[in-house]
Each structure stands twice: as C-alpha cells, then as structure tokens.
Structure 1
C-alpha cells in the first residue's frame, strides 16, 4: 500500500513542523514560524488561529483529512516520523503509543487492522519498525500479557483505547488506576525522578503510571470527539511527549499543520464526488428511483468487470424514520415493501441500535448477496463499505431530512481507483421532502462532518425537474442542477404521514430500468429524449444520469487543475502578492534557462523528448562514500551545541518538553555506552551517529553507516569517549565532511557531462503569477511583485542601489527551498535576486556580506558562471560582496558600474 500524494504531503508537513520545533524552544513561536515558512498568516481576523497550549509543554498538532482520506494509514506512517525526531534528544526512549478512538466499534476495527499480519497498516508498521511491533488493548496491559519493561524498551508498543476507558466510570475502567502486580517489572531502580511521571495518589505499578513513565506519543483518531475539558484532562494524565490529532472536522482546540481538501481525494480516486442530491415527490418514488439506479449501476459494473475491471456490487442505504408513536416509516415496513417488489430477502439487511444483521458479513465478497441495507443512524461512524452508492432517505416529507449522520458512509470509492464509467465514480442521495432547501442544508452538514464543503454536491428537485422537462420539450429549458443557493423550491402542502405507500412503484421496475438504460445510452449518443413508455422514475433517473455525467466531468477537470500544495482553506490566509500589472505580460512570458540531462536509450522518453530537467542526484549515482577520505579533525568541535536546549523562552508551559535536552537521560545513556566493551562501544556509537546523521539521499544508508564505521575506527579512546558525550557536535562535523566529499564528486562529474554534451541548457522556469513570502520587505522601487519577500540589511542596500539604476526595468527577490528559481547543477543554487534590464538582459544576483561564513561561495560562483556561459548573451550571473570579493566575484561599487551598462 503506497502513500497517496496528499498523504505524503501530510507527512512532509509533519516532518517540517518537527524540524522547526527542534530548533525553536517555544511551542507558540514554532507554530508561527512553521506557517510563516509557507507564507500563511497566524492570528488576526484573516489568519490561522494561534497555537493553543491545551496540554502544557506538549506539542499537540492536527492534520485535517476528509473522510475516506486514509487517516489511519497516515497515522501509521507518522509514528516513524515522530519517533525519529524524538530519538535525536532521547536516544533510548521507549516507543510507546496510546491510540485513542471515540467508540468501541472503531476500537475493534483499529485493533484488528493493526494486529493482522496481512493488513496494509500492519505491514507498514513492520516495515518501519523492523517487525518489532506489538498491539494491545487495555486488558492486555492490565494482565501484563507480552508487556514488560524489557519489551517496552525493544519494540513499538501500541495500546488502542477509547476515551471512556480512561474516565473510570465503572469498576472495570478503574483498574487502570489501581496497583498491579502484573506490571512490577516497570519498578526499576533506574526509573529516575518519579516526580516527572508519578501520579502520587496512585501506586507506581498502576497502569496509568506505567504509561506515564513511558511518555507515550498519543494518536487521537476522530479528535473532534475529544475536546471536552474532561477529555483534555484525560489526555494530560497520560503524560504524553507528543499528540497527533486526526480528524475531518477540527474543532476549537486544534493546532492544524496540514490541510487536505476534497479535490485532492477526488484526484487520487479516494471518494465519490460530487454527491448528486435528487428530491422526489413521494417516498414511493424515492424507493423506485433507488431501485432503478442501483440496478443500472450494477449493470455498468458488470460490463466494466467483463472488460477487465474489478468487481463492484452497488448497495443502497435506506435511512428509515425512527420509530415513533405515529408509526412513521420504520425499517420493518421498508423490508416488507422491498420484498413486495420482488427483492430477494437475502439481499436485504437491517442495521440499527438493536438489530445487527451485518455482523460477521463481509460485504466486499463476491458471494455476498446484500444489495440493500436499512438503518436509522447506526452507520454514522466506524462503518465504511465502498460498495455503498445510494443513500435513500425515507423520513417525513414535512421535515428536513436528517442525512448528515450517515452521508459519509457512501463516499468511499471502491478499490481506490477511477472506474471506466463516470456514473460509478459518484455518490447519490434520494429524498422526498417538501422542505428541500432544509434538506440540502442537512446534506451540507453531512459533507462538513466528513470534511467536505457545500461545493461538493449538486442538487436536482423533482418539482423543478417536471417543469423543466415540459419546457425542455419546447426546447427552452434544461433540468436545473446547481448548488445550494441556486435552488428555488417552494414548500408544497404537506401530505399526511401514514403507511409507506409504494402503490405507484411499477411492478416491472426492473424491466423499465433495463429499457431506460439502453434508451439512455442511445439518447446520450443521439440527443434524443427518454421514451414515454418508461415509468416517471426511470425517466427521472435517466435525467439524473445525464446531468451527473456532465457534473462529474467538470469536477474532474477542477480536481486535475487544482493546486496540490495549497488547500482552498488556506487561500485567504496566505500572504499572497501578485505581479504588478505593468510588468505582468512580459514577466509571465519569461522562461529562465535551466540544465537538462539527455535521457539514455531505453528510458520512458521518446526520441522527440530526449531531455529531462537535471537533478543533482544524477551526479551521485556512482558515488561511493564508503571509500571516501575518512580523516576528520574533531579538535574544534563546538562545546555549546546543547545550549539552545537548556533555554526556555517566554512562558515555561510553552517549552516543548520532549525537544529539550534531558540531562539525566543523556548521563544515563553516556554511562551505559562507557560501561560496554570497546567493541560494543564502537558498534553502538556507529549506530547512534548513523541515526543522528539521518537521510543523506541519494547516498544510501549502508554507505553512510560504513563511512561512519571507518571514521569511528580511526578514533582513539579519548575521542570515542568525547564523541559519546557530545555526539550531536561530532555529527555536525561528519555531515560537513560527507557534504564536501559529495560536492567534490558532483562537481567533477557535472563538468565531465557538460563537456560531452550529456547536459544541455533549455528555457524552463516560469515566474509565478503570485508569491507567498514568510515575511514582507519594505518598499523598494521597481519591484516585480506588489510586495517582495523580506531580506537582510546588506541585501536591501544592494537591491535599492540596483533599483535606482536607470538601466533596470524590474527586480525580484528570488525564493528559496523549492519556491524560487534554482540553478540546478552540482548543487542547487537559489540566487538572491533576478533583475531585468531595459535592453532585455536578465541578471542573477547573489549577495554576500563580508561578515558571513561564505564557505560555499566558491562553489556557487563556479556554478553561476557555468550557467552564464551556457545560457547565452541575454543572461548574466554576478556574485556581489561589499568590500572583499573572492576571485571572480564583484565589489558592490564595481557591480553597479557594470549593471548600468547592461
């Protein structure tokens, strides 16, 4: 099971937040800095809500992912991201997870999925944590079943619990707070200061104190259910080091770091959108329409399977009226009426609070006959069957139809793929309401509950449709199909509530469905109308299908054209600035040259497209770090490397506890390593340094580990001891050496490839229509964008002088880290400024203050000059120093003289 694009973005957002948090010892500031890096405002009327410190000192963040977006799979992958970050400061911390769920139904599903060796969730956990994974329920921990001090140190331990189990409302739940001899192994002499974790009113062996001592990572599934004061207190009692919320509908306490929108899910074929909402004039018509459409969808599914597609058996969810004294439509009556219409009894199942005919039924199996499920709201959570396509609500016509509780149950896409016929890529809701506007509000609420919006449905009203059909015969109108606020339907006189009347349902509805399906296909091809011999519901369904096809095509086009990196929810919160109108047409036509690599024969590119954008990784394919120079001088290792960890800025409660140096743990870890034999010290130190060095892609992990082994082998006993005590400082020196070796290899390889024309220059990079800087610069004349990104004092002085030259037409503060233009050579170089002169030349300008560490300046200058030579006469590259330029660079005064002439 591979990560979808948007799921990978959520994990990248999490990793980005953790990186910011690692260097910012203040939770509120880290949250502001994280969003500022994305050009998003925090605070004020037009920004994201500021950080809420609900659990003091504990990073508590949220990912907003709509229903069917794979929140559990995201959480499984996120555990590795979080524990990797935490381990940098606490090398021997146990990997304990408390996975909180809102109900027993979801608890059972989660435990089953995480425990099953064949389930994708468990497979991913085993891959990430080297098969050292154990999943528990609360009762397992209370009995000490496979759970001890030693196992907790060596594995990933996940206990799945409901919030109710922490609230001690009954005798069973209170056991978590009681002395427990089964957990005596956790009463170790090295348990440290109990004040850090012990709830003194409970015994140290109580499960709650064992969990607190392990400082768990807490995953809160459907976290919108866990925002009460009591729930927050229960979370705090767990003594977590990190809290990750996953929900489609974040509430007031949520600190959202990642947004996923409906279009992202539609693009990846995760959901059936848009939802087609159709209103009928009677409950009998609702049933008849649902039967006809379901039959036609199944026929389409069979045709697709015969053509090589996967098995689909569309299901209707009938939402019954709750039983009342007035004896409204109930689930028993619906079953009776369906059987009267010759539906086989085995195809009908009831799922209510008291009746569960779906127990132990696998709806996805080919031999399962179920095609109709009758419920009230028992499917409102913890139940997802991708085969559910139609929600048919049979509530009173005189009230708004309460569909929001279970609307999300028909949204998941079968087999997570786009199907050959567009009608199999949508969801459908049929209602019979005289208050259709209120019903649509209920649909919007249902979409909101699932994390979607009022833009994700389309509505059809039968009364308006009848009028349109008559007008359509005269060629003047089309069936109205629009959004919530485009629908004008007058409330009709309420019909009396009584027995469910299906007398209007055609006994030959199946034959009519088949006839209409064939006629509908011909009608779509010829433009003809549906034959009059078919029942009204069949004609209505044919019209729905025609409109649904058009709406789906429009929705698909919108999804494909959407910006993957920016959720619509962030659009109005971003610090966005557009190109000035006077420069717009000219600037948008610019294509800055970049390096391209010739694709070797046998690749995926055709002869007409033999080049692809060059990436630095190409230069390191044959780089063997393990054979590189392993001589590193550690004499100047910094002694203040941990200083930032010991600082606390602002309110103490805002300091991220898990991201400051745990001095006691550091001493324990150091003593542990020093007590080992020399060989064991070496082995453990190599593993520790490799972990801290982290991902050096495209250099492989085995290459990095072997290189570090050679470095450690060259150390004497005193250096080994010092390295154990100051491993982070040593890692910095090691990474600097690795980077230098990789850069030297990349530079030589790049030059060689350039000499034999394996690398060429082509117009490529287009300036964006707008930018979203993390902070704004003050006004400087001739800026390309209305407001440019903030800059340092020397940069501002340089560009101010440049802008005041008569030869300059416009300038732009280039973005960095993937946001702006890069010279893509043996390193990725983002010059500080792009300058356009009136004669038409474009100059890339890199500024270097004399007070900076300019260790990479020579490499950047060499690459910049290579780019200039290959780009042609219309382009220049300049590196500008204030007073003391390196060879080939410019002094500011000299650069201004040249720019005046360009």
Structure 2
C-alpha cells in the first residue's frame, strides 16, 4: 500500500482518538471541546452523530485520507457493525464523481487498496443508479460504498425523485422490519425506496468538498439520510464546520506534496503571455532532462495549461482555435504535442497515461473543463490568455498545477515550484484575483512569488549568525546511521504472553459494551440476526487472519504475526466461544497491537543496550546532520531575541521563552543559539524508540562546545517520554565526546544548566 506521510498519519490518529472517545461517551460535543477547546456545532439531524471536518489544502491527498477514514470509523466508532455496512460518499460534481468511481473501483489504486486490505476485499462500489437495486447482503456482508453527488439525491429534480420513489427491487430490505418509526411513509405504509434503505442502515457519510454541502437545502438532505457519522473534507471550510483536523500548506511542502511557491507574472498582451509561458515550460523541460541524466532524477515532462476566454470562435475573443493557431504557426509547436480539453472536445481521452515517457503532450488548451476531476503532476505552468476579470479563471484550474511529481522534491529548485502567467493591463488587480483563487484552494497570498516584488517565503528562515559549515554527529550502528528497524534482528519472533490470566483481564476492560455469556453473545435486537449470519461465515482461521493484518508492524514477517495471533486465539478458545471472541475482536485487535509494539520496543531496547556494551554504537559527523542555509518552519515568528542562528524560529511558548530562549540570547558565552524544528530539517537523535527525537534547542559556546537542550514543563518531568529522551540524549553526548553536552531543562534547573555553560 501507499505509505502515509507524517501529516496524514497525524490526521488519522487524531480522528481515531476522537471517534474512540465518542464511542465510549456517546457525546461528540463534549469530546470535540475537550480535544480542540472550540465550540462544537451539533448536526441538526441527530446531535449524537459526530460531524467533523478535515481542513486540507488542495494537493494534500483528501481522498486518500477519506479512504483511510472509512477504516478508522468502522474500527473505532461503528464497531457493532462488524466491519459491514453502508457508506454514502458524496462528491460535488459529475467530473469528480467519474474520477472517484474510477479510482475506487480500480483494485490497484491506493484508495481501493486501503479498503480491500482493511475489509478483506469485502468492498462493493456503486453509483446511485446501481444502488437502486442494492441487495440486503450487499450491506450486511460487505462495506458497500455508494458514490454520488448531493444534487442527484435532491427531490427537486427527476433523478433525485428516483431515490425516494417506491421500488420493488428493494422489497427484501423491508421484509422483517422490527420498527418503522424513522422511515418515510405514505400514509401508514412504508415506502420501499432507496432513501428508506439508506435511513434503515444509518450510513457513514463522506463529504468531499464539504463546504458545498453547508447550504440549508443540503443540510436538510443530510438530515433526512439519518447518518451515523459525517466526515467532511475541504480546503475551505464553512463557518459551521467543526474543524477537528487541520493541515497547513507548509506541511505539504515539508512532506514534498506540492509545488509552492507559485511564481506569478503578468504580461499585458495575451500573445506575449503565451510566448513567455512556453519559454518557461521549455526551460523547465531542459532542467528536468539534465537532472534525469546527471543527478539520477525521475522522468518529468513539464506541461503548460492554457486557458482561453471561449470555446467557440468569436470576434475579439481569445478562443481555442486562436490559441492553437498561435502555438502551431507562430511558436512552431508540433500539433501532436497539444491536446484540447473542452466541454465538447476531449483530445486527452486518447492519452491513457500522460506520465508515460512515450506520451508527446506538452500543452493542454482548455476553457474551464479542467476545473475539477483532472490531475496531472507534470502540469507546471498555467497561463490565462485573457484579461482577468474574476478570480474564477484560476480557481478552476490552479489546483491542477500544484501537485509535485512522484511526491518527491527535485534537486533542481525550479522543478519544486509552479508558475502562473496572466495577461492584464492592471497587474495588481490580476494578482489579487490569483490570491483570492489560491485562498479558495486552502493556501494564502504568502505562497505567491510575484515577479514585481522581492519574495521571502514566510515559512522559511535564513541563516544569519554564521556561514560556517555546521555539522553534528548522528549515532551509527555497525558503522551505518542508526534506524529503528536495524535494532530488530531477522531471527526475532513474537512470544505469546506468559500470563494469560492478566491478558484476559486486560481484554475484559477493553471490550465493547456487549454481554458475553456461555450461550454466546447478547446484542441489540436489530443486530442479532446479522451477527448470527456472520458467525456462520467465521472460523478460527479467518479471525486469526483478520487480526494479523491489523496488528502487523513493518519489521516483523507476516507469518510470524499469524503464528503469534493464532497461538493467542487458540488459547482463548479454551475459555471462550468463537462467537464471544468474534464479538470482542476490536478489543482483541487493540490489545494484540499493543502487545506487538511492546515486544518490538523491548527487543529494540535490548539490542540497543547490547550494542552499546559491545561498542557497536558509535557517532559520526561525516554521516551526521548538517545545518541547512534555509529552514522550512511550521509556525514561524520573527527572531526578536539576539544571537539566534536564523532570522526566524518556530513559535515558542512562554515557558520556553523565559526559561531557555531569553537566557541563551543574553548568555555571555553563547556565540549563537538555535530553536531546533520538531521535524523535517532539524537535528534528531535516533534511539531505541521508533520515532526520532528532535531536541528543542542547540547552542554553540565560545570554547567550541555544543549544547543540546530539551525543555520539559514541570507537569511532564518524570514521564516515560521525558525519561527516555533524557537517557538517549545522554547516550548521544557520551558517545560523541567531551565537546557535546545534553541536558534536560526544566523551570527548576534551568539556571543551573545555563551556569554550566560558563565553565
């Protein structure tokens, strides 16, 4: 499967924490406030249904996050559904509907791989018209995802009426109704409609570009569907959105997802704008070829998007034919390098793989057909061959040029940025429209580099205090930079818990609210028939496979995980029925996952200490961390304190500022100091935990010593995390030598530590 970026993993972990707590408390409002310290806007249909938002800029992988979120929702919140049920995936347009259906149906696509892996390939993808014949078993035995637009299920149009109309094909869903209280009726008769099937199964709702669904009419439609949970994904949330998770544009840059900044240049004549944009595209292709040939770069063929005023020919307007003629006749572009993509003409359809080295395309001419549902990371340059009247021209297509090819930063800086050319006599007005459009994609005007202005990215910091090369050692294991996986030997195997009584007690505290007796499982009445059906399909082997897939960690062979899980399940079957274990499988999954991680961490620590004792852990500046000239920061602020190495630093809290940063800036022996970023380009120390440790501060003193400082508030002193960081930091300083010092700084000892720097 496609590996998640750090920010994506963070997003999903935050969602899991929220849904787990809501499942336990039944209160999405209080849980939201506890986690975000903001007021929650309850869903008007059912206040007990979580309704939360992912705020993710364009290019941040919203659909991949949505696919993973379906898994998290069924694992952490809808656990009583035994990983079967209905998902309603609502998209804003027909173009995105086509693209989403195509990707979710493709078993090789990352979105579908996520779902198939989590649900053992029991995944059915339907569009709305197919759902008009949906069978009960499609929902009771699978994750059934119906993808449609919100507009297509409105009563106000003919297509929408089909959702609410009597439908004999759906009769089986209503044969054994225990209650019709919440179903739509005509008189006293339940309407056998798709709308009622949806209400009957209380779907998980995925809202793609959810800001489009915040109108009064759209909210009313959502309310009528009786969703059990609503997850919204958008770059520009509405004021009513409950933003649980927010991704910053700079995080996408740090994780090599997008091409920012956007270089903006205005040329008064549309012909000159097209010509200059072509020259830029040609220059980028030369750079890409040079990097591929000399620096091992991947294949890139930059594409120029040209937006016209009109599709049809009209006097005085810049239309598609006029652009094609200018490209081919004036600029001598071969016609086979150009594709037209308009509402009536689609030459892109003839090119199955635009990223292929065999594809000749370098220019795409459009009016507005590329606004949604089309992505190509090779698109680097956008030109508007018309006077910019509104921001809509860019908002429709600007997202198409933001994605970084292969989600990997190039060695040539120009290939990590994107380019927009406008043709307007009033550049400031044009720039304002572009800025407005960029904000509509979740970015800001600070992500634009204007040709008429000096540009300093607000999220970047420049080195000022010294231009000397700064290098600090990293730990090596057997002469190679230490990685966590290097601490797990090939012969490592998982061991069954020695005390199964304690294991069982732990399991009991984690189980869902199910009454397990000797006779089997008691559940809510409406679940009992479905549960019995699923039990007939289950056996010990399928339960072991299901658990093993979910608790596997990268360094461990899957066969070993199966053996470990199987041994525990076999032991549990001596005291529990298979029904009871199956009913508790989510609690069992969480407990087994914890045990696997504990054993991994214990083995890593054991091997680390063993290697230390034998002298196999060393340090090297040659292979170590080198301080860059420019840093990318998540929460930059101007460095107002003296002697800071860069002109900006990541935001400091009051305690960090008063106890460490300010004293360092005034310390007579400090040459310079540095607020180390918590990720990305900062100094890290790898120990025997999976995650890297990024200390808070680095200082250089006049005697040539290096001081690495980690600050902890008094409430964190003595925690397992603090103790580990202090231990691993001291290991690092001892191995590196006398000139390298590490200290854990607190409010209580800050003065003492700083006094040591005078010696």
Report the TM-score, using the length of structure 2 for normalisation.
Answer: 0.70
Which deviations, in whole Å up to 9, do the C-alpha atoms of 1:408-431 show, x marking residues without a partner? 333233444444544343322222
Q: Which residue of 2 is the match for residue 140 of structure 1? A: 130
Aligned pair in 2 of structure 1 residues 616, 645: CA closer, same or farther (>3 Å)?
farther
Alignment pair present for 1:186 and 2:186: no
Secondary structure, aligned partner of 1:6: helix
Within a 5 Å distance, the mapping from 1:49-128 to structure 2 comes to 50-55=40-45, 56-87=47-78, 89-92=79-82, 94-128=84-118
CA shift at 1:453, angstroms? 0.9
State the match for 2:35 in structure 1: 34
Give the Å deviation of 1:220.
1.4
Partner of residue 425, structure 1: 416
Summarize the Cα distance change of 1:284–1:81 in structure 2 as closer, same or farther, 3 Å threshold. Answer: same
Question: 1:187-336 to 2 correspondence within 5 Å?
Answer: 187=174, 189=176, 192-195=178-181, 198-201=183-186, 203=190, 205-304=192-291, 309-320=298-309, 327-336=316-325
2: distance between equivalents of 1:847 and 1:421?
Answer: 45
Q: 1:866 to 1:288 in 2, by over 3 A?
A: closer
1:455 counterpart = 2:427: no
* SS across alignment from 1:252: coil
Name 2:8's counterpart in structure 1: 7
CA distance, structure 2, for counterparts of residue 82 and residue 52 of structure 1: 18
Map 1:585-734; keep pairs closer than 5 Å: 599-600=477-478, 605=480, 612=482, 618=487, 624-629=493-498, 631-632=500-501, 663-664=524-525, 701-715=561-575
Which of 425, 430, 440 aligns to 1:439? It is: 430
Measured on the aligned residues, the alpha-carbon RMSD in Å equals 5.6
Which digits, 9 at most, give the CA deviation of each residue in 1:125-183, with x for residues without a partner? Answer: 333333322211111121x3xx4222323322221101111102333321111222222
2:401: which partner in 1?
410
| Residue among 392, 395, 401 paired with 2:383 | 392
CA contact 1:396–1:433 (8 Å) conserved in 2: yes
Shift of 1:312: 0.7
User: What pairs up with 1:737-816 in 2 under 5 angstroms?
Assistant: 756=614
Q: C-alpha separation between the residues in 2 aligned to 1:747 and 1:385?
A: 45
Contact 2:51 2:232 in 1 (8 A): yes
Cα deviation digits, residues 209-241 of structure 1 (max 9, x gap): 222223322211122211111112222222222
Select which of 148, 156, 159 maps to 2:146.
159
TM superposition score normalised by structure 1: 0.60
Aligned-partner SS, 2:446 = coil
Deviation of 1:397 after TM superposition, in Å, equals 7.8
Q: Helix, strand or coil for the counterpart of 2:450?
A: strand
Distance 1:70 1:713 in 2: 42
Query: Partner of 1:653 in structure 2?
Result: none
Quick one: distance in 2 between partners of 1:404 and 1:435? 19
The unaligned stretches of length 5 or more in structure 2 are: 464-471, 516-521, 625-648, 663-677, 679-683, 694-706, 745-759
* Residues 128/636 of structure 1: CA separation in 2 closer, same or farther (3 Å cut): closer
Q: Give the distance between the partners of 2:231 and 2:75, measured in 1 at CA.
A: 15
Q: Distance in 2 between matches of 1:223 and 1:178?
A: 26
| 1:247 Cα deviation after fit | 1.6
- The 3-state SS of whatever aligns with 2:394 is coil
Q: Distance in 2 between matches of 1:875 and 1:430?
A: 51
Instruction: Report the Cα distance in structure 1 between the residues aligned to 2:724 and 2:382, rounded to whole angstroms.
Output: 65
Please list every run of 5 or more consecutive structure 1 residues that lacks an aligned counterpart in the other structure.
36-41, 44-48, 461-479, 484-553, 563-590, 647-660, 787-814, 816-820, 831-839, 849-853, 878-902
Matched residue pairs, number? 660
C-alpha separation in 2, matches of 1:844 and 1:405: 46
C-alpha change, 1:346 and 1:320, in structure 2 (3 Å) is farther
Q: Would you say the 8 A contact 2:476–2:620 is kept in 1?
A: no
Cα distance in 2 between the residues matched to 1:298 and 1:666: 60
Q: Tell me if structure 1 keeps the 8 A contact 2:75–2:586.
A: no
Deviations 1:401-455 (CA, angstroms, capped at 9, x unpaired): 9533333333233444444544343322222323211111101012112221111
Superposed CA offset, 1:827-872 (max 9, x none)? 99x9xxxxxxxxx9x9999999xxxxx9x99x99999999999999
1:702 aligned counterpart, secondary structure: helix
Residues 269 and 441 of structure 1: CA distance in aligned 2, closer, same or farther (over 3 Å): same
Alpha carbons of structure 1 residues 785 and 394: separation in structure 2 relative to 1, 3 Å: closer
Go from structure 1 to structure 2 and tell me whether the alpha carbon gap of 1:662 and 1:232 turns closer, same or farther (over 3 Å shift).
farther
Task: Return closer, same or farther for 1:432/1:69 CA change in 2, 3 Å cut-off.
Answer: same
CA separation of 1:192/1:363 partners in 2, compared to 1, >3 Å: closer, same or farther?
A: same
CA displacement 1:5-41 (0-9 Å, x = unmatched): 3333332332333344344432122122223xxxxxx
Match of 1:482 in 2: 454
**3-state SS in 2 of match to 1:404:** helix
Whether the 8 Å CA contact 2:285–2:300 is kept in 1: the answer is no
User: How far apart, CA to CA, are the structure 2 residues paired with 1:732 and 1:360?
Assistant: 48
- Contact 2:49–2:228 under 8 Å retained in 1: yes
C-alpha distance in 2 between matches for 1:122 and 1:843: 42
- Local SS of the residue matching 1:140: helix
User: CA contact under 8 A between 2:19 and 2:76: conserved in structure 1?
Assistant: yes
Residues in 2 aligned to 1:870 and 1:203: alpha-carbon distance in whole angstroms: 71
Q: Distance in 1 between matches of 2:265 and 2:661?
A: 47
CA contact (8 A) 2:685 2:732 kept: no
In structure 2, the CA distance between the partners of 1:621 and 1:258, relative to structure 1 (3 Å rule), is farther
Residue 276 of structure 1 contacts residue 458 of structure 1 at CA under 8 Å; is this kept in 2? yes
Q: Whole-Å Cα distance in 2 between the matches of residues 94 and 449 of structure 1?
A: 36
1:497 corresponding residue in structure 2:
none
Residues 723 and 823 of structure 1: is their aligned pair in 2 closer, same or farther, counting only changes over 3 Å?
A: same
User: In the alignment, is the contact (CA less than 8 A) between 1:402 and 1:439 conserved in 2?
Assistant: no
Distance across 2 between alignment mates of 1:52 and 1:448: 27
